[in-house]
């Protein structure tokens, strides 16, 4: 009974492990990319076509065919929109709080509405300045975003005379 339970659990784990990450590099078609292969070599170009067996890169009029089974990672240039958003949010908060605190320190009498108005103005100006600065910094420091990554999960039962165990290997 116990051996049957171990067999069922192991079989279930094997079924789950076969579809660990069912990604395809199809979303890269038409984009400038960096392709990292299984042997750690990196190819750069624009993805011209992806079939079940071949990923075709185009660069300066020449094409390179890469076996899709050997592709480990595909990265594309990172856009500046995340830098714009991070800069806008960060500086808007700092501008609103700083302007509100400064307005409260300058004001001598009941000035709650004045502090609130100044806080709103500081938030708006900080958001605009932060968006510009964040976008410029992100554009000056180009990054990459992973659009495809092949991972694998292997589960294997180990049964010896008196012991039963499961070996798990994760690769990325």
Asked if 60 and 93 sit in the same domain, the reply is no
**C-alpha–C-alpha distance, residues 130 and 93, integer Å:** 10
* CB burial readout 146-160, b (16+ within 10 A) else e: ebbebeebebeeeee
Q: Which residue is associated with the tokens 């984009």? A: 31
Residue 38 sits in the same domain as residue 89: no
Task: Please tell me the total count of domains within the chain.
Answer: 2
Query: Is the domain of 95 the same as that of 29?
Result: no
For residues 147 and 69, state if they share a domain: yes
Per-residue pLDDT of 21-40, as tens digits, reads 335 677 778 888 999 998 98
CA 111 – CA 132 distance, rounded (Å): 32
For residue 129, the enclosing domain spans 81-140
* 54 plus 101 within the same structural domain: no
Cross-strand partners of 65: 56
User: CB neighbours of 33 closer than 8 A, spacing ≥ 6?
Assistant: 44, 45, 46, 47, 57, 74, 75, 76, 147
Across the chain, what does the average pLDDT equal?
81
50, 123: one domain: no
User: H/E element holding 31?
Assistant: none
Selected residue with higher pLDDT from 16 and 83: 83
- Whether 115 and 61 map to the same domain: the answer is no
Asked if residue 2 has pLDDT above 80, the reply is: no
Q: What digits encode the pLDDT tens for the residues 113-146?
A: 888 889 999 999 999 999 999 989 888 887 888 8
pLDDT at residue 94, as a whole number? 92
pLDDT digits (tens, 9 = 90+) for 37-63: 989 899 988 888 888 888 889 888 888
The pLDDT assigned to 156 comes to: 83
Based on the fold, state whether residues 121 and 69 are members of the same structural domain: no
């Amino acid at each position: 009974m116990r051996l049957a339970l171990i067999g069922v659990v192991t079989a279930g784990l094997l079924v789950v492990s076969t579809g660990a990450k069912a990604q395809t590099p199809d979303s890269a078609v038409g984009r400038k990319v960096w392709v990292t292969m299984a042997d750690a070599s990196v190819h750069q170009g624009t993805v011209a076509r992806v079939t079940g067996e071949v990923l075709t890169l185009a660069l300066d009029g020449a094409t390179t065919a890469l076996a899709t089974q050997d592709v480990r990672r595909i990265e594309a240039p990172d856009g500046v929109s995340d830098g714009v958003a991070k800069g806008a949010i960060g500086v808007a908060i700092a501008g609103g709080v700083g302007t509100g605190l400064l307005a409260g320190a300058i004001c001598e009498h009941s000035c709650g509405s004045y502090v609130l108005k100044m806080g709103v103005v500081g938030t708006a100006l900080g958001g605009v300045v932060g968006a510009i600065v964040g976008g410029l910094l992100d554009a000056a420091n180009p990054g990459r975003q992973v659009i495809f990554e092949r991972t694998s999960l292997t589960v294997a039962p180990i049964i010896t005379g008196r012991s039963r165990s499961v070996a798990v290997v994760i690769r990325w």
